[in-house]
Structure 1
Amino acid sequence: MEKTFEESLGFRHACKVFDDEKKISDEDIKYILEAGRRSPSSFGMEAWKFLVITNEELKLKLRPACWSQAQITTCSHLVIILAGIESVKPESGIPKKRFARRNMPQESLDFYLKLYAEHLADTLSSDENIYAWTAKQTAFAGANMMSAAAVRGIDSCPIEGFDRDQVEDILNIDKSKFRLSMAIPFGYRLNEQSSQVRLDFDEVVEFIN
């Protein structure tokens, strides 16, 4: 039975150890990944890729590069989120294709391409700057996937504790095209979660009228 969005917010927590005997169904993992695919991105570039790992031997290889965290090997599905590098560069031709999906007149297409290149001139000046920009956007996809998982009663844990170069080497990532942004294990909790602790509403929210 699916949880309401409010119920899923209370259910979700950073699961530290998964029950390695329980596996996520194909239907549920597709539901989770679809939430990531539909996530918002700056200029609609969708500068990301999701690698879904279920191979146990590969998980074992990755675990030492991820600070030996138990989630890597006990999860059902390990989703590696990559931030796009090459695809956002105007010279790649991909931004033009992304804008062209909107079926706009050529004049409008040229305008948006010029605006894109000029507005992001500093950002697009180096691969490291591009990575900082696109990796930040992958958080939208990651958050949506974890929320979607919680709706289905599936646990997750966002992981940024890893040796980026080691993980990329193990996965044979072409670093001119993609860089590692986040790893999210999905599965079912082995133990009950501790109470969720958050700041009070008034400490976080300020209304400006």
Structure 2
Amino acid sequence: MENNFTKAMQFRHACKLFDETRKIPDEMMHYILEAGRTSPSSFGMEPWKFLVISKDELKSRLRPLCWNQPQITSCSHVVVILAAIESVRPKSGIPQKRFARRPLPPEKIDAYIDLYGTFLADTFSTDEKTYCWTARQTYIALANMMTAAAYEKIDSCPIEGFEKENVEKLLQIDTTQYQVAVLCAFGYRVNEQSEQLRIPFEEVVTFLD
């Protein structure tokens, strides 16, 4: 089956070099970020924040901290995706506010808070464990942003090759609140895409009858 979504998936690739002369319009960048903002998350906590970098000077300072990858400076925008730390913990009061958005009686909300805190008690015991949990969820938002971009013929490249602590220092991030999970460059390809290589469907998918 082929439709506009599958065409977007075929269009998308990890673009290594972008056309430096082309910039993503503001309204299109907002559309991409909205795809991330509206992504699903565990318990509906939305444990992320998106930092958008478009100025050449900051991208130039960021590039050496990202293994000197050219997509950092050639792209139109770099989105730094942060994973929440403190705000997902019950004691912060934020989970209470998140659950309270639902049309539920107070006792039901309290029950959810209790379940949430008990189930994730070990996860919240250290910043490292909390980061491990929230960082995984940021990849849902990352994937949705890349696919939304591809749907509009905008290229992207997810970037895990970076010096986490140095990037956090450069961007002056309070790591007790948020930590860098992943980066993504967005822009327009300068070269034609090579053939998309993937493992065959039959090797990836198993139907359990």
With the length of structure 1 as denominator, give the TM-score of the two structures: 0.98
Alignment partner, residue 33 of structure 1:
33
Local SS of the residue matching 1:79: strand
Counterpart AA for 2:44: G
> Paired residue for 1:76?
76
Q: Secondary structure at the match of 2:52?
A: strand
AA at the equivalent of 1:142: L
Q: Which residue of 1 aligns with 2:59?
A: 59
**Whole-Å Cα distance in 2 between the matches of residues 33 and 68 of structure 1?**
25
Deviation string 1:117-140 (CA, Å, 9 cap, x unpaired) is: 000011111100000000000000
Secondary structure class of the residue paired with 2:64: helix
Runs of 4+ in 1 over 4 A off after TM superposition: none
The sequence identity of aligned pairs, in percent, is 60
Q: Deviations over 1:70-105 (max 9, x none)?
A: 010000011000000011011100000000000310
Instruction: Please list the CA deviations of residues 33-81 of structure 1 after superposition, one character each: whole Å capped at 9, or x if unmatched.
Output: 0100010100000000000110110000000000000010000011000
**For residue 24 of structure 1, what is the amino acid of its counterpart?**
I
2-structure distance, mates of 1:55, 1:103: 42
Structure-1 separation of matches of 2:151 and 2:110 = 41
Pair 1:133-2:130 in alignment: no
Which runs of structure 2 are paired with 1:138-157 in the superposition (5 Å)? 138-157=138-157
Paired residue for 2:43?
Answer: 43
Aligned to 2:91: 91
Quote the RMSD (CA, aligned, Å).
Answer: 0.7
Equivalent position of 2:166 in the other structure: 166
The answer for the alignment partner of 2:14 in structure 1 is 14
Residue 27 of structure 1 and its aligned partner are, at CA, apart by 1.4
SS of structure 2 residue aligned to 1:95: helix
The unaligned stretches of length 5 or more in structure 1 are none
Distance 2:96 2:127 in 1: 19
Cα separation, 1, equivalents of 2:93 and 2:9: 40
Structure 2 gaps of 5+ residues are none
